[in-house]
Amino acid sequence: MANPYDICIRGAGIVGRTLALLLARERLRVALVVPAGIPAATTSGHGDVRAYALNTASRTLLESLRVWPDEDAATPVLRMEVHGDDGGRVHFDAVEQASPALTWIVDVPALEARLADAVRYQPQIEVIEAPAPAALTVVCEGKTSRTRTEFGVEFDVTPYPQHAIATRLTCEKPHGQTAWQWFADGEILAFLPLGGAQGNSVAVVWSVREERIPALLATAPEEFASMLENASHQTLGKLTLQSERASWPLQLARADRWVGPGWALAGDAAHTVHPLSGQGLNLGLGDAVELARVLHAREYWRSLGDLKLLRRFERARKADVLATGLATDSLQQLFSLPGSPAQALRNWGMRGFERSGPLKQWVARRAMGTAPTI
């Protein structure tokens, strides 16, 4: 008896649901595994502090699937300010890139709700509670994937001596559609604008030394907000915590194999990078696009799980992922080096990069998803 499904996707996060919609558009029969007890999607922002930076390529993809969130849940970033720990500064501007935005800061619960609705009304997708046989299984379970282990894949993890703290703030001043990043004392603080073009709230991602986490999470909300005011040099005035704080360890990780006969890994199940670049979800969505493209272009006589076919996907994605991982890891290591010589070197480098012209423009366009990889 033939399998009722062409594809079984294990993992129903943003990457998994996006891939399911892409493959359903190709008239493939898709099983999307959502284990019992796990909600189909988060329905609102209550208690959920996640926000992602999505570039032009990711926006184009999600718009093509009709799941791009409303304006108040997808704030366009017109300017980006990056500050070093000794006067170094780099800025990016959407006008200079002839683009409507450098990136968009997307409220994750809003995006998940749109994806869940789209999946619900797509007849080619069936949501099931347990994995089912299929010509191809795609693992989108994130960095803690169990299925990856079942396939005998090694996950090479390099932990950073940092954890991330995420929360949301209401600010005295409007954010002006600007994203900020400050490097100081080996730590990285990012403010990402939320609430639309006229908003005055930000998502916070603070990468701090591991040993500081317990005290920071236990700090009273008012005192924690005051610490963020100081760390951000009062850029947005008085700050007020509007959500709980979440924390997780940071790591650079990569699976030793991304494909095998009848299976493939995508998103964080295959690779993770430091969040300082804001590229993690963009890389995962890039995986979904490339896998769908490879399957669409396959020879008529190849099965969906053909290993040679799947290796085309692996080769195409590894270059982009490796380049992004190397760039973010190098920056993290550089700004973690103690001592005055290292501090002088990195801030000198920032000043030089700010004046680099074509190089700076290429880096910006690559991050935006509008420049070819090399």
What is the rounded distance in angstroms from the CA atom of residue 263 to the CA atom of residue 204?
36
Q: From CA 348, how far away is CA 88, in angstroms rounded?
A: 7
- Biggest alpha carbon distance in the chain? 69
| Residue 230 domain-assigned (yes or no) | no
Cα 1 from Cα 298, distance rounded (Å): 24
Average pLDDT over residues 69-81: 93
Query: What does the pLDDT average to over 13-36?
Result: 95
C-alpha distance from residue 99 to each of 44, 63, 76, 122, 178 (Å): 30, 17, 11, 33, 15
Question: Could you tell me if residue 193 is inside a domain?
Answer: no
* Counted domains in the chain: 1
In whole angstroms, give the CA distance from residue 202 to residue 171. 8
* Residue 200 maps to a domain: no
3-state secondary structure of 31: strand
When mean pLDDT is compared across 27-31, 96-100, 176-180, the lowest value belongs to 96-100
3 state SS of 280: helix
pLDDT confidence of residue 357: 72
Residues 6 or more apart whose CB falls under 8 angstroms from that of 326 comprise none
Convert the pLDDT of each residue in 330-373 to its tens digit.
Answer: 677 666 666 677 677 777 676 776 666 776 676 667 676 766 54
Residue of 4, 68, 14 whose CA lies nearest to 42: 14
pLDDT at 83 over 50: yes
The stretches of the chain forming alpha helices (DSSP H) are 14-25, 56-64, 108-120, 147-150, 213-218, 221-231, 280-296, 307-336, 340-354, 358-368
The CATH number linked to 150 is: 3.50.50.60
Establish if 168 belongs to a structural domain: no
Give the C-alpha separation, 119 to 347, whole Å. 47
* Domain span at 27: 7-157+250-368
Structural domain contains residue 206: no
pLDDT for 326: 73
Question: Would residue 41 count as lying in a domain?
Answer: yes
Amino acid at 113: A
Q: How far apart are CA 105 and CA 192, in angstroms?
A: 7
Does some domain include residue 134? Answer: yes
Q: Is the pLDDT of residue 166 over 60?
A: yes
Does 218 reside within a domain? no
- Of the pLDDT bands very low, low, confident and very high (cuts 50, 70, 90), residue 264 is very high
Q: What is the pLDDT of residues 314-326, one digit of tens each?
A: 999 988 888 777 7
Give the Cα separation of 23 and 85 in Å (integer).
46
